[in-house]
Amino acid sequence: EPEVTQTPSHQVTQMGQEVILRCVPISNHLYFYWYRQILGQKVEFLVSFYNNEISEKSEIFDDQFSVERPDGSNFTLKIRSTKLEDSAMYFCASSVDNNYGYTFGSGTRLTVV
Amino acid sequence: AQSVSQHNHHVILSEAASLELGCNYSYGGTVNLFWYVQYPGQHLQLLLKYFSGDPLVKGIKGFEAEFIKSKFSFNLRKPSVQWSDTAEYFCAVNRGDYKLSFGAGTTVTVRA
């Protein structure tokens, strides 16, 4: 069964540092997403990406965040200057269309110290 | 505010017991409905989804859910749980836009 792959599985970074979280979506999917889950809280939408541009973003997704599809396979989330409150599990997801049903990756646990 | 509500925060039950998890949403109009499961240390997996048609949908691992439009509900059920069903369960709603809105999740603990 096709999978969404995320790397690394766990990243520890110092406050103020830049981090890049990487995702390889399923190859024939066209829509890509990032969600996050702060420990003990609900899964929150961050951003969706289609046709090489952001299609929707939440209020969480401020100027510190950016997404990119640098080549035909990777989909990245960059946080320019991490804050303690950015510590969370970040999930990448992809889908064939925008409401078919998403396939999630296993997540990257980001810890900002 | 528009939201997805899951009624139970933590459910504890014994093997072979029946399970029902409640989910209500407050969006008007057409919605697509999902239940995801997250086993300990693993990623979110799709259990089942409803887009249209028969409001009783069957998913993987013996789960089913019923969409009741008049009640804005999409409750998840399983007639007989197993220890391996211990996990966190998330209801999610898509309104035809680009995102899923998740409920807070229900932790299910099945005792052997």
* Interface membership of A107 toward B (CB under 8 Å): yes
- B2 pLDDT tier (thresholds 50, 70, 90): low
Question: How far apart are the C-alpha atoms of A39 and A71, rounded to whole Å?
Answer: 32
* Interface membership of B3 toward A (CB under 8 Å): no
Read off the tokens for B12.
Answer: 């504890």
Question: How far apart are the C-alpha atoms of B104 and B107, rounded to whole Å?
Answer: 10
pLDDT attached to residue B28? 82
* Interface membership of A97 toward B (CB under 8 Å): no
Which has the minimum average pLDDT: A15-24, B17-26, B41-50? B41-50
Read off the tokens for B28.
Answer: 């008007």
DSSP B15: T
Do A2 and A101 touch, CB atoms closer than 8 A? no
Cα distances (Å, whole numbers) of residue B93 to B7, B36, B56:
15, 11, 16
**Higher-confidence position of A98 and B99:** B99
Asked if B102 lies within 8 A of A42 by C-beta distance, the reply is yes
Closest residue to A91, CB basis, from B43, B97, B103 = B43
Residues of B in contact with A42 (CB under 8 A): 90, 102-105
pLDDT attached to residue A72? 79
DSSP B35: E
- B40 pLDDT tier (thresholds 50, 70, 90): confident
Asked if A31 lies within 8 A of B98 by C-beta distance, the reply is yes
* Interface membership of B51 toward A (CB under 8 Å): yes
Asked if B98 lies within 8 A of A103 by C-beta distance, the reply is no
Asked if B103 lies within 8 A of A102 by C-beta distance, the reply is no
Strands B64-68 and B73-78: antiparallel
Comparing CA positions, the residue from B59, B44, B40, B100 lying closest to residue A3 is: B44
Asked if A101 lies within 8 A of B103 by C-beta distance, the reply is no
* Interface membership of B103 toward A (CB under 8 Å): yes
By C-alpha distance, the chain B residue nearest A104 is B44
Question: How far apart are the C-alpha atoms of A67 and A33, rounded to whole Å?
Answer: 9
Question: In angstroms, what separates the C-alpha of B98 from chain A's closest C-alpha?
Answer: 6
Q: Is A9 left (phi over 0), alpha (psi -120 to 50) or beta?
A: alpha
| Residue A84 phi, psi dihedral angles, 5° rounding | -55, -40
Read off the pLDDT of each residue in A49-68 and give the average, rounded to a whole number. Answer: 94
pLDDT attached to residue A102? 85
Neighbouring residues of A85: CB distance < 8 A, sequence distance ≥ 6: A38, A112
Question: How far apart are the C-alpha atoms of B30 and A105, rounded to whole Å?
Answer: 27
Strands B23-25 and B4-6: antiparallel
Which residue(s) pair with B68 in the sheet? B73
